[in-house]
Amino acid sequence: MNKYISTFMTIVAGMLFSMSAMAYDGSRLWLPAAVDGRHDVSVKLEAKGESASIAAQELRDHWRGGDVVLREKRDKSLGKEGYRIVPGDANVTVTANSGIGLLYGAYHLLRLQSTGATPDTTIVETPAFDMRVLNHWDNLDGTIERGYAGRSLWKWDELPDVISPRYKEYARANASVGINGVVLNNVNASSRILSREYLEKVRVLADIFRPYGIKVYLSANFAAPMQLDSLPTADPLDKDVIKWWKRKCEEIYGLIPDFGGFLVKANSEGQPGPCDFGRSHAEGANMMARALRPHGGKVMWRAFVYSANDADRAKQAYLEFNPLDGMFDDNVIVQIKNGPIDFQPREPFSPLFGAMPSTPQMAELQITQEYLGHANHLAYLAPMWEEFFGWVKPESLKAIAGVANVGDDDNWTGHPMAQANWYAFGRLAWNPMLTSKAIAQEWLPMTVYETAEIPAGVKEGLEEMMLVSREAVVDYMMPLGLHHLFAFGHHYGPEPWCNPEGASPSWLPSYYHRADSAGIGFNRSPAGSDAVAQYPEPYRTQYASASTCPDELLLWFHHLPWDYKMKSGATLWDELCRHYEHGCNKVSDMQKAWYAAAPYLDSSLYKDVERRLATQARDAQWWKDGCLLYFGEFSGMPLPDDVTAPVHTLESLRGIDLGITNYESPSAELLDSKR
């Protein structure tokens, strides 16, 4: 063991001992804590620029492992943002081609320190994607669409004069996991964000983020020329519209020289777009891209489109975008949700991935838990994204985006454990080959453990709690490929019977589950909507037959009889019931793992998560009872002997008013009163 590693291990042990006495502070996220008893560290900076200086200061403030050299040095293999860490006997050297690369390398060292690891071999890191972007669905009035952690971080009424210190901490957190782009506003965009008044505010944020390697992007309303300057049209081929966007881009880049570009939701859910003027998505995107091109900007054009009259909503994005392959300019990236519907707890991958080989594509993942229990349920999403990258190869993508779960709550994400999803998105955006287990093993000791003395069994129990949490949610909500059984609008709680007057059929659970006396599931086989035809081989053939379709997607692609014989030998009905039971049991196991860790956790953190797990257990029972009682009316079959009886009645659950405010679960008293 060389002298450097020996010193490092001694310092880490002292740091972890010191951390054990510190109270949990959710606002710190996974960033290194200040440590009493400063260890003098020499950080030699052989680079210029603000980013490199920040890297040096981060190490001076937090690094306890020995002397460090930060060196900017030409190395083509590292690209713009990569870095090399080389440990030596007397110091560790970080080299990169830029100050940003050095900053990422510094954060890598601090991550190793926080997890008790040692840089004992050379480490070389480069990101898989050039663009690693958070999409904020924040509105200018401070609300957040599908946000469950308070109000927006961006205090537009205070900017540009008042600058929150959280803006810098937000930038630090993103840089520490390699996120390099932020879309500040909702895809359901207000045109006001492009006004001079708001661009002056945006400039302040861009200036704060820039040294941390983060570019600012804006969601643009396609009708902005009409809404801001009363042009009679937003037709992308109209010469005055073209001039308007050209002038607007010149104005933006005059204020923000490294502005990233626009994110556009067009002709979707009532948003304006080129189709309103008889033009294609490609014509609309290219017009905006050409205005951005002289400045190096990009257009991220969302493929989330569907018509209220579609026979199968899952097919719409492919039908609308696949014929446009090769028609987009090269600074347009088509942004595609991971699944063909809408961020469900489990979906197959969108068949549009790989179906446009001449068009740059990027994946859109959802970090905030719109369909996974909001900020009440623990649902570690790295396994979901790991599953996605098992289908869609990273090299087929040009970029990646995640819908942010950040708000102005003290702990940033509402549920303390939901910080792991922000962290995991950043880590997977940098390296999609990381496993969800490896990421959990990084995040837990940086945020949850309060002592170096935590027993191995307790630590493994917490890791398992995280790793099983998403599958538990799938099981107690919508197993075997069921999807969209949520209450209308807010998507919290079960309502498979939901049928509000005037609602589009494709927004209602019955459109998706199609339960009747004959069976359950959406027939997307060749005998049904034939959505399977959009998939490449071998998936097309695999999904087309119920006998070869994976169980976890069975009812996504097939409508099957209640007594259909599953691979396990059980009937479909019995298998469905057992999945709901299993989901409830897994939440109970999660509670036990958390309880076992209580002596090693900060009491405020423990109590917060304990309360949320109790809510999750109650909600899991609510989901199980509501779905099995409702579907049981169609199947006419009894529960299998190994599934516990419901504690509610269907009549009582149908009587719950799910006009939930603040996205909260019904109270325990309310649910108990329905038993």
pLDDT tops 90 at residue 668? no
DSSP string across 240-253: HHHHHHHHHHHHHH
Whether pLDDT at 1 is above 70: no
CA dihedral 392, 270, 403, 623 (to 10 degrees): -90
Residue 439 backbone dihedrals phi, psi, to 5 degrees: -70, -40
* Rounded CA separation 323/282 (Å): 10
Q: If pLDDT is split at 50, 70 and 90, which confidence band does 671 have?
A: low
Q: What is the number of helices (H) and of strands (E) in the chain?
A: 20, 13
Q: What is the pLDDT of residue 311?
A: 79
460-470 pLDDT, tens digit per residue, is 999 999 999 99
| Sequence-distant (≥ 6) Cβ neighbours of residue 450 within 8 angstroms | 19, 20, 22, 24, 600, 601, 602
110 with 102: CB under 8 angstroms? no
Distance CA 105, CA 108 (A): 5
Do 47 and 99 contact (CB within 8 A), yes or no?
yes
Q: Among 88, 35, 86, which residue's Cα sits nearest to residue 60?
A: 35
SS3 559: coil
User: Residue 617: its pLDDT value, please?
Assistant: 98
660, pLDDT greater than 70: no
> Reading across the β-sheet that carries 43-46, which strands appear in turn?
43-46, 67-72, 91-96, 83-87, 123-125
pLDDT reported for residue 118:
86
Q: What is the pLDDT of residue 656?
A: 85
Residue 453's pLDDT band, with cuts at 50, 70 and 90, is confident
User: Quick one: average pLDDT of 222-244?
Assistant: 98
State both tokens at 221. 């309303």
Provide the pLDDT for residue 287: 98
> How sure is the predictor about 538, in pLDDT bands with cuts at 50, 70 and 90?
very high
**Across the chain, what does the average pLDDT equal?**
93
What's the one-letter identity of residue 489?
A: G
Percent of the chain with pLDDT over 70: 92
> What does pTM read for this prediction?
0.95
- Mean pLDDT computed over 173-192: 98
The whole-angstrom separation of Cα 546 and Cα 555 is 9
| Helix, strand, coil percentages for the chain (3-state, nearest 5) | 45, 10, 45
Structure tokens at 304: 């989330």
Q: Which residue has the higher pLDDT, 57 or 502?
A: 57
Mean pLDDT of 534-541: 98
Query: Could you tell me whether strands 83-87 and 67-72 are parallel, antiparallel, or unpaired per DSSP bridges?
Result: unpaired
User: Residue by residue, what is the 3-state secondary structure of 211-227?
Assistant: HHCCEEEEECCCCHHHH
**Range of lowest pLDDT (36-40, 118-122, 265-269, 346-350):** 36-40
Q: How many other CB atoms are found less than 10 A from the CB of residue 617?
A: 17
Instruction: Note the pLDDT tens digit of each residue in 245-263.
Output: 999 999 999 999 999 999 9
Question: Pairing between strand 123-125 and 83-87?
Answer: antiparallel
What whole-number distance in Å separates Cα of residue 421 and Cα of residue 382? 7
Q: In this predicted structure, what is the pLDDT of residue 662?
A: 46
pLDDT in tens, 391-411: 999 999 999 999 999 999 999
**Position 661 pLDDT exceeds 60:** no
For residue 200, pLDDT beyond 60: yes
Please state which of the ranges 35-39, 340-344, 517-521 shows the lowest mean pLDDT. Answer: 35-39
Tell me what the mean pLDDT of segment 43-54 comes to.
98
Q: What percentage of the chain exceeds 90 in pLDDT?
A: 87
pLDDT of residue 673: 64
Judged against a pLDDT cut of 90, whether residue 17 lies above it is answered with no
Which positions are catalytic?
269, 342, 370
> Hey, is 406 helix, strand or coil?
coil
Q: pLDDT tens across 423-436, in order?
A: 999 999 999 999 99
What are 560's two structure tokens? 């099957």
**For residue 631, which amino acid is it?**
F
Residue 37 confidence (pLDDT): 58
Span 280-300, pLDDT tens digits: 999 999 999 999 999 999 999
pLDDT for residue 410: 96
pLDDT in tens, 349-387: 999 999 999 999 999 999 999 999 999 999 999 999 999
Report d(CA 226, CA 100) in Å as an integer: 39
pLDDT per residue as tens digits for the range 473-504 = 999 999 999 999 999 889 999 999 998 888 88
Average pLDDT of span 179-187: 98
